[in-house]
């Protein structure tokens, strides 16, 4: 059945935002100054001595200690501000997030605050079990105009129905090993997918024992991103424009999958061993100097490279944005070098202490926290004050912040959880088949897409 029974639209909002929230900040500040001490005492009592549960990503992979350090920092800042504690509830995959969101909505119980990826806010909004962030709520952490406009495009279906507050941005780019590119006679990273294949081959030829590129189709989070980018650049999408029909069987998505896996079995610039890899293994190979280029990398790779032999050789560039065999994108194709990516805090309606939840979000979006999360995790800021702090301390981040502005939003739809997990399942099944020694099969890929398309369509049409 249709989740929540509401229609959500895509790629909306310009860069301008209403100034109502900014005015309310001043008005509420004046009211607070006039309020009595009894009100302040009551508010403090409501915040102190509580424990708030927050659903978030489990520490894992090469950033295990970084996650732990960041969570400890936020917990300490929150405790200092409120006198309350955080109980972190860890997720492990996009699949579990989808299931647990729906279970919490059905039972009216679960974590108090949820860290939800940009793509899943459509699902959260449609469930109608999360608070709508009102202008007065936004004022608690600076008001909407304080946040990066592109991040706000995924906060809710429209300006008046935001359910999420962004706390981190993750623009994805191409990472490459400058030493390996130089050895291959390459003076710049590729701008098209044809160049990507050619450059990867040149890297392998120049430095035997290295791989031109890597991927991780067994990862529970990431492999849909390069497939989505290629599909969008070729003029495709997961849904029709009206968001009434699933298009997972489109020629563009089929071509994107064939190219993605063709990097291994047709162009031979990715080793077959990668077919069973998750993201941490792909990253480890790059940091060991065994891979020339890595798709959809985040700035956190810089932190992870510290202390490795490639620490001085890691560089970044926009992802290629022209499909293989073409000199320019076809009609309808978008650059789609990165998704509008990041994470948002959504507050469950069954949680009755909204002021404490807002205080938690405030602690996570303060300029100091935005700078700290960048230092520890490599996550880009989402507030103007945070950007100012990070750019001042780390001038090299400017291209990444610009990359976020040049990224493309994904479909804002209650069916997104089924789209993303469905595409991930298709990629995983194809990888398993190929890892067993079979070549890429277009007919098998189509059969998998047809099955997932039917699932998505059932959640669009209400059947």
Q: In this structure, are strands 211-214 and 291-297 parallel, antiparallel, or unpaired?
A: parallel
Q: Of 124-138, 143-157, 176-190, which has the strongest mean pLDDT?
A: 176-190
pLDDT given at position 26: 28
C-alpha to C-alpha distance for 51 and 340, rounded to whole angstroms = 32
Q: Is pLDDT of 114 > 80?
A: yes
Residue 246 belongs to a domain: yes
Which of 338, 119, 318 lies closest to 225, judged by CA?
338
pLDDT given at position 32: 34
Both 117 and 40 in a single domain? Answer: yes
Q: What is the pLDDT of residues 244-282, one digit of tens each?
A: 999 999 999 999 999 999 999 999 999 999 999 999 999
Q: Kindly indicate the confidence band of residue 96, based on its pLDDT and cuts at 50, 70 and 90.
A: confident
Q: In this structure, are strands 51-57 and 113-117 parallel, antiparallel, or unpaired?
A: parallel
Residue 5 belongs to a domain: no
Both 199 and 284 in a single domain? Answer: yes
Both 282 and 187 in a single domain? Answer: yes
Least confident of 36-40, 296-300, 309-313, 441-445: 36-40
Both 29 and 53 in a single domain? Answer: yes
Contacts of 17 (CB under 8 A, 6+ apart): 144, 145, 149, 152, 159
Contacts of 114 (CB under 8 A, 6+ apart): 54, 55, 101, 124, 130, 345, 346, 347, 348
Q: Of 18-22, 69-73, 398-402, which has the strongest mean pLDDT?
A: 69-73
Both 333 and 346 in a single domain? Answer: no
Compute the radius of gyration of the chain from its Cα atoms: 22
State mean pLDDT over 33-40: 35
Q: Is pLDDT of 61 > 90?
A: no
Q: Comparing 336 with 63, which gets the higher pLDDT? A: 336
pLDDT given at position 299: 82
pLDDT given at position 153: 85
For 72, the token pair is: 């400890």
Number of domains in the chain: 2
pLDDT given at position 273: 97
Q: In this structure, are strands 314-317 and 342-347 parallel, antiparallel, or unpaired?
A: unpaired
pLDDT given at position 44: 54
pLDDT given at position 2: 25
Percent of the chain with pLDDT over 70: 88
Residue 14 belongs to a domain: no
Both 113 and 84 in a single domain? Answer: yes
Average pLDDT of the chain, as a whole number = 86
Question: Could you tell me the residue range of the domain that residue 444 belongs to?
Answer: 173-337+415-461
Q: Of 46-50, 100-104, 443-447, which has the strongest mean pLDDT?
A: 443-447
pLDDT given at position 456: 96
Q: Is pLDDT of 4 > 90?
A: no
Residue 384 belongs to a domain: yes
State mean pLDDT over 307-316: 94
Q: Is pLDDT of 17 > 90?
A: no
Residue 436 belongs to a domain: yes
Residue 3 belongs to a domain: no
Both 101 and 223 in a single domain? Answer: no
Both 165 and 207 in a single domain? Answer: no
Residue 203 belongs to a domain: yes
Q: Which CATH number fits the domain that encloses residue 37?
A: 3.40.190.10
pLDDT given at position 227: 98
pLDDT given at position 346: 96
Least confident of 29-38, 307-316, 360-369, 402-411: 29-38
Q: What is the pLDDT of residues 365-406, one digit of tens each?
A: 999 999 999 999 888 899 999 988 888 888 777 767 767 766
Both 317 and 389 in a single domain? Answer: no
C-alpha to C-alpha distance for 253 and 114, rounded to whole angstroms = 31
Least confident of 44-48, 123-127, 360-364, 370-374: 44-48
Using the structure block, give the residue that is written with the tokens 């024992």: 209
Both 251 and 144 in a single domain? Answer: no
pLDDT given at position 156: 87
pLDDT given at position 24: 25
pLDDT given at position 462: 63
Q: What is the pLDDT of residues 194-252, one digit of tens each?
A: 999 999 999 999 999 999 999 999 998 899 999 999 999 999 999 999 999 999 999 99
Asked which of 357, 378, 405 is the last residue of a domain, the reply is 405
Both 388 and 312 in a single domain? Answer: no
Q: Comparing 309 with 12, which gets the higher pLDDT? A: 309
Both 233 and 123 in a single domain? Answer: no
State mean pLDDT over 102-108: 90
Q: Kindly indicate the confidence band of residue 29, based on its pLDDT and cuts at 50, 70 and 90.
A: very low
pLDDT given at position 463: 45
Residue 9 belongs to a domain: no
């Amino acid at each position: 059945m249709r989740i929540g029974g509401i229609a959500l639209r895509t790629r909306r909002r310009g860069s301008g935002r209403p100034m109502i929230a900014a005015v309310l900040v001043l008005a509420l500040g004046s009211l607070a100054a006039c309020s009595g001490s009894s009100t302040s005492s009551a508010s403090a009592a409501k915040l102190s001595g509580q424990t708030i549960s927050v659903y978030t990503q489990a520490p894992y992979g090469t950033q295990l200690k970084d996650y732990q350090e960041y969570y400890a920092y936020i917990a300490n800042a929150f405790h200092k501000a409120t006198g309350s504690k955080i109980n972190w509830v860890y997720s492990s995959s996009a699949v579990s997030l989808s299931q647990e969101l729906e279970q919490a909505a059905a039972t009216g119980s679960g974590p108090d605050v949820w860290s939800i990826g940009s793509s899943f806010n459509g699902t959260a909004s449609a469930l109608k079990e999360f608070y709508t962030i009102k202008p007065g709520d936004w004022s608690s952490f600076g008001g909407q105009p304080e946040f990066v406009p592109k991040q706000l495009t995924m906060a809710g279906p429209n300006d008046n129905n935001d359910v999420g507050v962004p706390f981190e941005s993750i623009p994805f780019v191409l990472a490459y090993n400058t030493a390996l590119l130089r050895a291959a006679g390459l003076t710049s990273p590729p701008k098209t997918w044809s160049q990507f294949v050619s450059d990867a081959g040149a890297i392998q030829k120049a430095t035997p024992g290295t791989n031109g590129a890597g991927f991780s189709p067994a990862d529970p989070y990431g492999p849909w991103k390069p497939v989505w980018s290629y599909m969008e650049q070729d003029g495709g999408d997961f849904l029709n424009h009206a968001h009434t029909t699933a298009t997972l069987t489109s020629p563009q998505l089929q071509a994107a999958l064939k190219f993605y896996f063709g990097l291994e079995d047709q162009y031979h610039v990715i080793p077959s061993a990668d077919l069973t890899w998750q993201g941490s293994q792909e990253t480890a190979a790059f940091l060991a100097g065994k891979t020339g280029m890595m798709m959809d990398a985040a700035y956190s790779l810089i932190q992870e490279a510290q202390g490795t032999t490639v620490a001085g050789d890691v560089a970044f560039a926009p992802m290629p944005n022209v499909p293989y065999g073409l000199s320019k994108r076809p009609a309808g194709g978008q650059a789609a070098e990165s998704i509008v990516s990041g994470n948002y805090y959504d507050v469950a309606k069954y949680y009755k202490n909204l002021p404490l939840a807002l205080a938690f979000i405030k602690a996570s979006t303060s300029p100091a926290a935005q700078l700290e999360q960048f230092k520890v995790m490599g996550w880009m800021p989402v507030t103007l004050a945070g950007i100012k702090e990070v750019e001042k301390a780390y001038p090299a981040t400017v291209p990444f912040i610009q990359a976020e502005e040049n990224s493309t939003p994904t479909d804002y739809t209650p069916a997104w959880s089924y789209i993303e997990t469905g595409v991930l399942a298709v990629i995983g099944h194809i990888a398993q088949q190929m890892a067993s020694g079979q070549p890429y099969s277009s007919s098998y890929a189509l059969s998998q897409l047809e099955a997932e398309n039917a699932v998505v369509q059932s959640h669009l049409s209400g059947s």
